[in-house]
Chain A
Amino acid sequence: MDKVADTLTPVLTKRWLSPRSWTLKTYEQLEGYTALRKALAAHPDQIIAQCKDSGLRGRGGAGFPTGMKWGFIPQGDGKPHYLVINADEGEPGTCKDIPLMMADPHSLIEGIIITSYAIRANFAAIYVRGEVLHCIRRLNAAVQEAYAAGYLGKNVLGSGFDLDVVVHAGAGAYICGEETALLDSLEGKRGQPRLKPPFPATAGLYASPTVVNNVETIASVPYIVNGGSDWFRSMGRERSPGPKIYSLSGHVERPGQYEAPMGTTLRQLLELAGGMKDGIPLKFWTPGGSSTPLFTADHLDVPLDFEGAAEAGSMLGTTALQVFNETVSVPWAVMKWTEFYKHESCGKCTPCREGTYWLVQILQRMVRGEGTPSDIDTLLDVCDNILGRSFCALGDGAVSPITSGIKYFKDEFLALCEANAASNTAPALAGAAR
């Protein structure tokens, strides 16, 4: 890197400042659809190769290399190919894709057209959570505008490439953010994860090769086409390049969306956000939503990219930085999150369905002051029986707040149980009356 990038690097968020930023007119005035023209003049495999070179990694949480995912789609197989956009944003703390689609829906649509051309898909669906009506409205209008302007439909811009895009509203199920559950839901079924393999790249939507990508990932594609892979790599870190939208929420002075190079730290972001609200010190935070293990004030300088977060014992997730100050009880927060996972567990896998139910029972009684120190061991034991034992990552995510909460704040859990410590030390069944 020749020059150190600025602290904030608005790429995806830059156009949001413009008046009526969601319209085609504004988008076209600000270089909109120039990348599409460029891409349509290239060979589809060149676009896949460029995406691989750029090092772009999935922005939906898992960080899988995007170009590699596209490359898994078998070509010349005679089957229809599909692109599905995961816009089912619902991981607690995550609030980047909805504002992006609300303010700049055409950037997503341009990314969809380029990606569909690259993977040879003629149908793409945007699966957006149902509870965000205004966002759905703007997306729908943008799709209509794109059709009218010849960016969608038959023979896109005279290239011979056809593409239809549908905006599909979900119906309130967090699990549909899991890509195979999303595909089942898009097929009109209960949103329950599938066993993998086969992966969506070989048997996805309607059992055909399918790429499922997050909104922020696909919205990044037009910029990579226009700027090139070296430009993209001039931000961020070697293995996690590019800019990233960091979403700050909770007890900070100025919560909001901050787009910065990958590897930015919470200390840097807090400084931009005016520090902790009312000066009350930081206690704990999530680096990427509630499914990523908690961090504490000791982790302020962890570089927030895929490697940095993992090396410090958590995950980058969706860069949803939920910040909590000293007034918040960790066992209470963990209980609330566990209630969420219990509600959203789809019920397919026994460890997750039953485990989250019992975890809630134990945590609720601890918070009521009716727990015992042995409940902590029971919690960890139940967590151990969920982690890695379910089809999808919901179960793994559900145990993250509990195990990390106990790891860093065990004293708080113990303090809740103090009154009962002497009276009952024998391990009890979860949910047993005290």
Chain B
Amino acid sequence: MSTSEEVLAASVLDPAETERLANESVVDTSVFGEDVVARARAIIARYPQPRSSLLPMLHLVQSVQGHVSQAGIAFCAAQLDLTAAEVSAVATFYTMYKRRPCGEHLVSICTNTLCAALGGDEIYRTVREHLGSDGKPLGHEETSGEPGAPGSITLEHAECLAACDLGPVLQVNYEFYDNQTPEKALELVKALQAGERPAPTRGAPLTDFRQAELQLAGFFEGREADLDGPSAAPETLRGASIAADRGWTAPSMPDEAEFPPVPEKK
């Protein structure tokens, strides 16, 4: 990368030294190819103001590298004309942006109060012991295996995942596995390690962490079949089903409901 003439003119050092120092702080973002740049621009185009695209763009960065690296921060900063510090401040605020490379899969186990009381704590304990090594259980946001390699798993305990009627729940790459037990969770994790991809309870066939992040950035091309699956879990439908069985309904609507008149301006 060449140093601008303005910088060379303003520097008290000789041009070669100035060039060296200026380029020392430049991060290599070549891992983000033209296709990624095109996607970043597509994200920006969705919003009235460019900076709104930062959160999806950080998801996009994770789809390339499996975490938000310094290069990822520099990439977003360059796309949005922000400083690295501004992007870093955002990336470090949100739980879903990982600072270290993630495994092929991210396993998130809800240990908030309700899931924990139903067995979530026990599930988390079982899985971290299984994934640990040398008698030491795997820690929060730690990875078993070489990050990104087949069968590698990053583990985290998660806060409430908004599926409390299906608890205890866990997620793999943000797909739901409902009504878990320590045994079921262990079986699932072992299958993931062996390169299998057991289907989520609701949701699409399992992919990997990076593919999930690409979709969170808003890119779903060629994945139309992913939409299938049940409309809802049986638990979700319990009220509606009871009502249907017993003939309970909301009061019937009038044939023609009128709008009130246009209010007079005060």
Q: Once the chains bind, are B232 and A103 in contact (CB under 8 Å)?
A: yes
A57 to chain B, nearest CB (A): 18
Q: Once the chains bind, are B55 and A188 in contact (CB under 8 Å)?
A: yes
Q: Once the chains bind, are B94 and A172 in contact (CB under 8 Å)?
A: yes
Give chain A residues whose Cβ lies under 8 Å from the Cβ of B95. 171-173
Nearest-neighbor residue (CB-CB) of B244 within chain A: A17
How many angstroms from the CA of A19 to the CA of B240 in the assembled complex?
Answer: 14
Nearest-neighbor residue (CB-CB) of B97 within chain A: A171
Stretch at the interface among B23-31, B128-136, B143-151, B257-265: B257-265
Interchain CB contact (< 8 A) of B240 among A13, A46, A206: A13
How many angstroms from the CA of A173 to the CA of B93 in the assembled complex?
Answer: 8
Give chain A residues whose Cβ lies under 8 Å from the Cβ of B59. 130, 169, 171
Q: Is B162 an interface residue (CB 8 A)?
A: yes
Q: In terms of DSSP, what is the predominant structure of the interface of chain B?
A: loop
Nearest-neighbor residue (CB-CB) of A344 within chain B: B159
Q: Once the chains bind, are B113 and A336 in contact (CB under 8 Å)?
A: yes
| Chain B proximity mask over A336-372: 1 for CB below 8 Å, otherwise 0 | 1100100110100000000000000000000000000
How many angstroms from the CA of A188 to the CA of B87 in the assembled complex?
Answer: 9
How many angstroms from the CA of A6 to the CA of B97 in the assembled complex?
Answer: 46
Q: Once the chains bind, are A93 and B164 in contact (CB under 8 Å)?
A: yes
Interchain CB contact (< 8 A) of B242 among A8, A234, A340: A8
Q: Once the chains bind, are A16 and B240 in contact (CB under 8 Å)?
A: yes
How many angstroms from the CA of A333 to the CA of B174 in the assembled complex?
Answer: 25
Nearest-neighbor residue (CB-CB) of B161 within chain A: A131
| Chain A proximity mask over B136-164: 1 for CB below 8 Å, otherwise 0 | 00000000000000000000001111111
B141 to chain A, nearest CB (A): 12
Q: Is B32 an interface residue (CB 8 A)?
A: no
Q: Can you identify 28 A-B contacts, CB atoms within 8 angstroms?
A: A10-B249, A10-B250, A14-B250, A16-B231, A17-B240, A17-B241, A22-B227, A49-B262, A92-B164, A95-B164, A95-B166, A102-B231, A131-B158, A131-B161, A133-B174, A133-B215, A166-B47, A168-B52, A171-B55, A171-B59, A173-B94, A187-B49, A225-B257, A254-B238, A256-B165, A257-B239, A324-B117, A340-B159
Report B's interface with A, CB cutoff 8 A. 46-49, 51-56, 58-59, 80, 89-90, 93-97, 108, 111-114, 116-118, 158-167, 171, 173-176, 200, 202-204, 212, 215-218, 220, 223-224, 226-227, 229, 231-244, 246, 248-251, 253-254, 257-263
Report A's interface with B, CB cutoff 8 A. 3, 5-11, 13-14, 16-22, 42-43, 45-47, 49-50, 53, 80, 89-95, 97-99, 102-104, 123, 129-134, 136-138, 140-141, 166-174, 185-191, 206, 225-231, 234-235, 243, 245-251, 254-260, 272-273, 290, 320, 322, 324, 328, 333, 336-337, 340, 343-344, 346
